[in-house]
Amino acid sequence: MSAEAADPGAPLRRRSRPRIDLRRLGRVALRGPVSRDRLPDAISHVAEAHRAHHPDADLTILRRAYVLAESSHRGQMRKSGEPYITHPLAVTLILAELGAETTTLTASLLHDTVEDTEVTLDQVKEQFGDEVCYLVDGVTKLEKVDYGAAAEPETFRKMLVATGNDVRVMSIKLADRLHNMRTLGVMRPEKQARIAKVTRDVLIPLAERLGVQALKTELEDLVFAILHPEEYEETRALIAAAKSPDAPLETIAENVTHTLRDAGISAEVLIRPRHFVSVHRVRRKRGELRGTDFGRLLVLVGEDADCYAVLGELHTCFTPVISEFKDFIAAPKFNLYQSLHTAVVGPEGAVAEVLIRTHRMHKVAEAGVVALGNPYAQDPAAPPQTEPSDERADPTRPGWLSRLLDWQESATDPDTFWTTLRDDLAQDREITVFRTDGGTLGLPAGASCVDAAYAQYGDRAHTAIGARVNGRLATLSTVLSDGDTVQPLLAQDTASGPSPDWLDHARTPAARIAITGWFSDHPDEAKPDPETVGSASSGAQSEPSSEREAPGAAAPARGRSGPRPTGVVVDDPNAQVRLAGCCTPVPPDELTGFVVRGGAVTVHRRECPAVTAMQEIGRAPVAARWADGEGRESDAGCRVTLVAESFGRPRLLADLTEAIATADAAIVSATVEPPSEQRVRHTYTLRLPDAAGLPGLMRAMRDVAGVYDVSRAQHPAPAG
C-alpha cells in the first residue's frame, strides 16, 4: 500500500514536505556509529522537523535514543525488506512533523526495543528516565504466549489505561499504526483486512477523539483502500478527473483573498482538498458531485476576533448558506477542535464550504493532543506542589476517556471489554449535562436519565425511580440534550434493583455493565443476556426494532436470558414471549403479538395504539392467547400500568399509595406529572398477585377523594 493513497490532494497543496526514502534511510542507519559531537544522518529529517516546532530543543537525548534503537534492532528486517530501524524512524518523523515534544520523540524511537529486542524497561528507565520508560511500556504489546487470544484486547486495555495517565502513549500508538498501514501491502490479504478492521473500529475513533485529524484522515483512506478497493478506485478516478487549473474553488479562493485584503484583514486563504473517504461520503450524500465538493477553503488568521471579522465579511460580500454555519469556537468539540464553518455562493452558483480558524486552532485541529506538548511540564510561575500525588492530573484527559477508564474496570472479561470498547468508540458525539449541585456530567449523545444516574451515583443508581430534568419530573428513559440539568431520584429502599428495560435506554458502557452485573448477582430476577452489554450501542447507529418504529410502542426489553413466565401462548412454542410495557395486558384482555428483533414476540392488548401502528407499517400479527384458556398468569402475578387523573390537593399521593397497598398491589414505578390547571396525572406500574383483582383496585383508586378517572395506560410506560 503506497502512501499516495492517503494523499489525494497532494498536487493542490501549496507547501509540502517531500516523501522520505526509507530505503535510503535504511542504508544510512547501517553505516555504524557516529561521533558523539554530531547527529546521526539517519535522524537529520527528524531533527529538522522537530526544530521547526521547537527551535530550542536539545537533540542530545534523541541521538542517544537512536544509537540504542539502531544497535538493538541491527540485523532485524521488516517484511518489506527494509532494515527494521526504518520503522521507529518513520514513526518518530510522523510525530515530529505534528509538533510532538522531545520526550515523545525519544520514546517513539525506542517504542519497539523492549518488545522486539533484549533491551529491558529498567535499562530504558536508567538511561532516559521515568517518563520515557512509562511511554515505552505503555505501547509495548502483551505476549500471546501468556494471554493467548486475549492478547490483543488486553494490550489495548493496557494502552488505554496508560493513556489515562499520559495521552502521549496513544499518540505514539497512532503514529505506529499509520506507518504500519502505509506498508501493509506486503502482508497477506486476509491479514491486511484484519488489521484494517481493527484500525477502523478502534484506532480511527481514538484518533478522532484525541483530535489528531492528520493521522485520522490518512488512516481512513488506507483502510478504505483495503476494505473497499472498488469504491476506492472509483473515488480515485473522480478526484483525478476533477483536477483542473480553472477549478471553481480556485476562483472563489481568489475572490475571498481580495475581499479580505480590501477589508484590511490579514489572512491566509488556502484550498484544503478533501481526502478520499470525505469525497466518498459527500458522493453518497448528494449523489452527483459538484466541482467544489472536492475541497474546502481554509482561512487562517491571527486572533480569535479575526475569525468573526472574516465571517462577517464573507456573509456580507457573498451569499451565505445559513444552514451550513457552525460555531465551534464558542462551543468547541469534545476533541479540542475549534473553527468556524460556513458556506458561500460563488460565481455561477458554485457553493464553497469555508473553514475559518487561527493558526493555533489549525495546529490543534491537525495534531490534537500532540500539539499540546507535555501536559505534565511544571509551570515556572506556578507554586511548588507541597504534597506529592501518586496520580498525575492530566489537563488533556477528556471526559470520554475518564468514563472509559471507569467502565473498563468492571469489564473483566476480554471479549466483553473488546466488544464494549468498539461500541463505545462508535458513539462519536458528546453532550454535557449539569447536576443540581453545580457539577457536570459528560455523556455520549443519546444518553438517558439512566446513564446520568449511573454516571453520578455508580451502583447506587440501581435504586433509581425517576429523575427531574430542568426541574420537571421525567422518566428514566428520557433522552437528555446538551445543557440539560438532571437530578436522578433514588428510592430509600436500598434493596431494590434495576429493571431489565433499562438496557433499552442505557447508552454508556458503565450503565450497561452495572445493570447486567446486578442481574448476575440476583439470578432470581429477569436477567438480560450479557451479550447485550457489548451490543447495545447508540440508537443512531443500530437499526431500530419494529416496536421503536411504532408510535406509542414500548421499547422492548432486550436480552432476557430466557422466557419470563407470562401465562401467554403464541403460535411458535419456542419463541420468547414478553408483555408490552405500553399497554401492560392482563387477563382477560384480548391479545395480539408481533415478532421483534431477536425473534422474541411482544404481546399487546388488541386495542393498544401500537397494534395499529405496527399494522400500518406492514408488520404481520402473531396469534396470542392466555394459557389454558383461564386467563390467569403464573405465580409471579401480573403487571399493569394505570393512569389516575385527579384534582390537585394535599396528601393526594399518600392516599393513592395507601389505596394501592390496601388492594395488595406492589408499586414497580410511579410518575407524577407537574400540575396543569389544578389537574394532576399519576402513572403507576403495579404488580398484582392475580389479574382478577384489577377491577377492584381501579375502583379503590377512583374512590380516593379528588380522583375523577382511572384507566389502563395507552402510552409507553415509564422506565422503572
Model pLDDT, residue 38: 54
Over residues 505-529, the pLDDT tens digits come to 888 888 888 888 888 877 666 544 4
* 524 a catalytic residue: no
Q: Which of 617, 614, 618, 591 shows the shortest CA–CA distance to 603?
A: 591
* Helix, strand counts (H, E) of the chain: 28, 20
Could you say which of 41, 116, 572, 645 is catalytic?
A: 116
- Give backbone dihedrals phi and psi of 127, rounded to 5 degrees, phi first: -90, -30
* Beta carbons within 8 Å of 569's beta carbon, 6+ residues apart: 624, 625, 626, 627
Residue 393 neighbours by CB distance under 10 Å: 8
Model pLDDT, residue 51: 92
Question: Coil, strand or helix: which one is 488?
Answer: strand
Cα radius of gyration (the chain): 31
Q: In Å, how far from its chain's centre is CA 20? A: 35
Model pLDDT, residue 234: 92
What's the CA gap between 54 and 181, in Å, rounded? 28
Could you say which of 21, 48, 115, 324 is catalytic?
A: 115
Sheet of 679-688, strands arranged across: 666-672, 679-688, 638-647, 707-712
Strand-pair category, 430-435 with 485-490: parallel
Model pLDDT, residue 193: 93
Listing DSSP states for 511-549 in one string gives HHHHHHHHHHH-TTS--B-THHHHH---TTTSPPPHHHH
The ranges of the chain with pLDDT < 50 are 1-20, 22-36, 379-383, 385-396, 527-565, 629-635, 716-720
* 116 a catalytic residue: yes
> Bridge-partner residues for 44, per DSSP?
none
Say if residues 114 and 121 touch (Cβ distance below 8 Å).
yes
Over residues 210-260, the pLDDT tens digits come to 889 999 999 999 999 999 999 999 999 988 888 776 678 888 999 999 999
Joined together, the cell numbers standing for residue 470 give 430542568
* Beta carbons within 8 Å of 65's beta carbon, 6+ residues apart: 105, 106, 109, 110, 128, 132
Give the global pTM: 0.64
* Beta carbons within 8 Å of 175's beta carbon, 6+ residues apart: 91, 92, 94, 95, 98, 108, 215
